[in-house]
C-alpha cells in the first residue's frame, strides 16, 4: 500500500419556497428524536431521491442479536412501514410491509408512490413491538410549478477516523433546508490508522483492516450509520447522493484503483461488486438501467439537478499529453450524451450538476519552487511542476472541452457545478485553456470535507497558517478563474437557488475532533441569472 499522502492529488495542493414545503429541525415533536435509534432500528432511518409523487425510504432492522451487519446471520422477517401527513401518524397516507433478511443484510428500501407533490410527510418502520425513530421528508414540486426558493445542504468527504460528524449536526439543526446533496466519499475504505486526523485516530474504524469483501463493506456502512449526527440529518431532510472513489477504493476508475493490488487483494471486479452491492443496500438511492446511478431531479421551473457518476465509466488516470487524448473519458460516452442533452434541453431556470470531482482548471506550473518544495508531496505535483490533477477533470481535458464547448454552442446558460472531493473550499468560473479566463461557460462551488484531512492537516500546522494562506493566494493569482479558495477548513455548504441568483455559503467547524463543535460562516459567493461571473457576498444568508 502506498503512502496516504500520495493519494489525494489536488487536495494536496492546496427553504421557505413557493411550491415546496419548509423543513423544520431534526427532532419531531411527539416522535423519537432523530438518532435515538431503538435496538431493532439501531442504524436510523433515511429518505432520498424525491419525486413529485414519491420518495425512497430506508432503514435497517436487527431482528435478533446475532443479525449483525455483514454477519450473514438472522432470520427473514417482515418490516412494517408507515407514511403520514402528521408526526403523530393519526392520518396515515401509505402503509405496507416488506420482507428482508440476511441476503440483503436486513436493509429495507421502499419506493413510496402516490404521494402529493411539494408536501412534507413523516415516516417510520416497525418490527415486532418496536418502532424506529421517526423521519421527515418532502416530495418535489410539480415540474411546472413556480418555486421561489430552494435551499440545499451540500457535503462531501466524511472520514470516520478523522473526527466527528458535527457538520451533519449543524445542518440537521437548521430549519430552512429542502434537501441534502452528498457528492461522494460518504465513507472511506482504509484500515485503521491509514487516513487519520493529521496523524491522530479520533475514533477507530470497523473493521480495523481495509475493507475488501461484501461483509467488510457492510460492516463499514453500518458503522457510519451509527453516528448520531449522521442519523439526525438523514431523519430530518431527504438526500440526493452520488458516490466517488472511497466508497470502493482510492482513485477508482472503471477497471481498477490506486488503492487496490490484484496480486494480494484479489480481482478488482470482485471488490467492486461487493462495494456496489453494499452501497445500494445501505443508501437511499435509486438506480436506473444497468445499475446506473447518474440521474436527474426537477424542482419546478426553478432548478434541475443532474447527479453524475465519475467513477464507473472513466478511463484510468494518466499524465503528460495523455490527458488530452480524446479517446479517454471521465464520464463515458452514454453519460456525456445524457448530460449534454439534459443541460441544453432543460426548461428549468438553473441547471445544477452534482459533480464528484472538480471541473475547473487548476494550473500549478507557475507556482514558485520554494512553495512546490514543501507542498509537492502534499499536492501530488510531479517534480517538474506539471499542470495536472489527473484524478479530476484536469486529467480528462477532452471531456471537459467537449462539455464546455457544448454549453457555448447551444447557448446553455445558468449552469452551476456543485463539487466535493478535494476537502477544501473553492468558488470557480469554468473555462477551457482555449478561452483562458474570459467568458466562463458555468460556475462551480466546491465544498470542504466534513472531516477528511486537508492542507494544514497534512502540513501539521494550525488552520489559517501563513503557508496555507500564501498558497491560496498564489493559486488565485495563477488561476484568475479561481475567484476564491480556502485550504484549511472542514465543514459544509448551504446553497440557495432563486429565480434571480444562485449562492453558496461556506461554513467551517471550530474543531472536527469534537462531537459538539460549532461552525462559523466564512464566505459567500453568488452568480446572477444570465451570467457566469461570480460575485462575493459580505454577509451570511438570512
Q: Domain coordinates of the chain in residue numbers? A: 4-20+141-537, 21-140
Per-residue pLDDT tens digits for 34-60: 445 579 999 999 999 999 999 999 999
Neighbouring C-beta atoms of residue 18, cutoff 10 Å: 13
pLDDT of residue 31: 36
pLDDT tens for 397-433 read 999 999 999 999 999 999 999 999 999 999 999 998 7
* pLDDT at residue 439, as a whole number: 86
- pLDDT at position 37: 58
What is the fold of 21-140? Immunoglobulin-like (2.60.40)
Whole-number Å distance between alpha carbons of 495 and 153 = 6
Per the CATH hierarchy, to which homologous superfamily does domain 4-20+141-537 belong?
Answer: Alkaline phosphatase D (PhoD) (3.60.21.70)
Give every residue of the chain whose pLDDT is below 70, as ranges: 1-37, 365-388
User: How high is the pLDDT of residue 365?
Assistant: 64
Interhelix angle 397-410/333-345, nearest 10 degrees: 20
CA distances from 390 to 328, 378, 381 (A): 12, 15, 10
Distance CA 185, CA 156 (A): 6
Cell numbers that stand for 3 in this block: 503512502
Residue 433 neighbours by CB distance under 10 Å: 12
Burial group, residue 144, by CB count within 10 angstroms (0-12, 13-18, 19+)? exposed
Cell digits for 252? Answer: 477508482
Q: What is the value of pTM for the model shown?
A: 0.91
Contact call for residues 311 and 243 (beta carbons, < 8 A): yes
Amino acid at each position: 500500500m502506498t503512502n496516504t499522502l500520495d493519494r489525494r492529488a489536488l487536495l494536496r495542493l492546496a427553504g421557505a419556497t413557493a411550491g415546496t414545503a419548509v423543513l423544520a429541525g431534526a427532532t419531531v415533536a411527539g416522535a423519537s428524536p432523530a438518532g435515538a435509534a431503538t435496538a431493532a432500528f439501531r442504524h436510523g432511518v433515511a429518505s432520498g431521491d424525491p419525486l413529485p409523487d414519491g420518495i425512497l425510504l430506508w432503514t435497517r432492522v436487527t431482528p435478533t442479536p446475532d443479525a449483525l451487519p455483514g454477519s450473514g446471520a438472522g432470520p427473514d422477517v417482515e418490516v412494517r412501514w408507515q407514511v403520514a401527513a402528521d408526526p403523530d401518524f393519526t392520518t396515515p397516507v401509505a402503509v405496507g410491509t416488506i420482507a428482508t433478511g440476511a441476503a440483503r443484510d436486513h436493509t429495507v428500501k421502499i419506493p413510496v408512490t402516490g404521494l402529493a407533490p411539494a408536501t412534507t410527510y413523516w415516516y417510520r418502520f416497525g418490527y415486532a413491538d418496536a418502532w424506529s425513530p421517526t423521519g421527515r421528508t418532502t416530495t418535489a414540486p410539480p415540474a411546472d410549478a413556480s418555486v421561489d426558493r430552494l435551499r440545499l445542504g451540500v457535503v462531501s468527504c466524511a472520514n470516520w477516523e478523522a473526527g466527528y460528524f458535527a457538520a451533519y449536526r449543524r445542518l440537521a439543526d437548521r430549519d430552512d433546508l429542502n434537501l441534502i446533496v452528498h457528492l461522494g466519499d460518504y465513507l472511506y475504505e482504509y484500515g485503521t490508522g491509514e487516513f487519520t486526523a493529521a496523524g491522530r485516530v479520533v475514533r477507530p474504524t470497523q473493521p480495523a483492516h481495509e475493507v475488501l469483501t461484501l461483509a467488510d463493506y457492510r460492516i463499514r456502512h453500518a458503522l457510519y450509520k451509527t453516528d448520531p449526527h449522521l442519523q439526525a440529518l438523514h431523519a430530518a431532510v431527504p438526500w440526493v447522493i452520488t458516490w466517488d472513489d472511497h466508497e470502493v477504493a482510492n482513485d477508482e476508475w472503471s477497471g481498477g484503483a490506486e488503492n487496490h493490488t490484484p496480486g494480494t487483494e484479489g480481482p478488482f471486479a470482485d471488490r467492486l461488486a461487493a462495494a456496489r452491492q453494499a452501497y445500494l443496500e445501505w443508501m437511499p438511492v435509486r438506480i436506473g438501467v444497468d445499475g446506473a446511478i447518474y440521474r436527474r431531479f426537477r424542482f419546478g421551473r426553478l432548478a434541475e439537478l443532474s447527479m453524475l457518476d465519475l467513477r464507473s465509466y472513466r478511463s484510468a488516470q494518466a499524465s503528460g499529453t495523455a490527458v488530452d487524448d480524446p479517446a479517454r473519458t471521465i464520464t463515458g460516452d452514454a453519460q456525456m450524451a445524457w448530460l449534454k442533452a439534459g443541460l441544453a434541453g432543460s426548461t428549468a431556470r438553473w441547471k445544477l450538476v452534482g459533480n464528484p470531482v472538480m471541473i475547473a482548471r487548476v494550473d500549478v506550473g507557475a507556482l514558485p519552487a520554494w512553495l512546490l518544495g514543501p507542498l509537492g508531496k502534499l499536492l501530488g505535483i510531479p517534480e517538474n511542476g506539471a499542470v495536472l490533477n489527473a484524478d479530476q477533470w484536469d486529467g480528462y481535458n477532452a471531456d471537459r472541452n467537449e462539455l464546455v464547448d457544448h454549453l457555448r454552442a447551444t447557448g446553455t446558460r445558468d449552469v452551476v457545478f456543485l463539487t466535493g472531493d478535494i476537502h477544501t473550499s473553492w468558488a470557480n468560473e469554468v473555462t477551457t485553456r482555449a478561452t483562458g479566463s474570459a467568458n466562463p461557460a458555468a460556475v462551480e462551488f466546491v465544498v470542504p470535507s466534513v472531516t477528511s484531512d486537508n492542507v494544514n492537516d497534512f502540513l501539521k500546522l494550525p488552520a489559517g497558517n501563513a503557508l496555507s494562506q500564501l498558497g491560496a493566494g498564489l493559486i488565485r493569482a495563477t488561476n484568475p478563474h479561481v475567484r476564491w479558495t480556502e485550504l484549511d477548513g472542514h465543514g459544509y455548504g448551504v446553497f440557495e437557488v432563486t429565480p434571480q441568483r444562485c449562492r453558496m455559503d461556506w461554513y467551517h467547524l471550530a474543531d472536527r475532533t469534537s462531537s459538539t463543535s460549532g461552525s462559523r460562516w466564512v464566505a459567500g459567493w453568488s452568480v446572477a441569472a444570465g451570467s457566469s461571473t461570480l460575485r462575493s457576498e459580505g454577509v451570511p444568508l438570512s
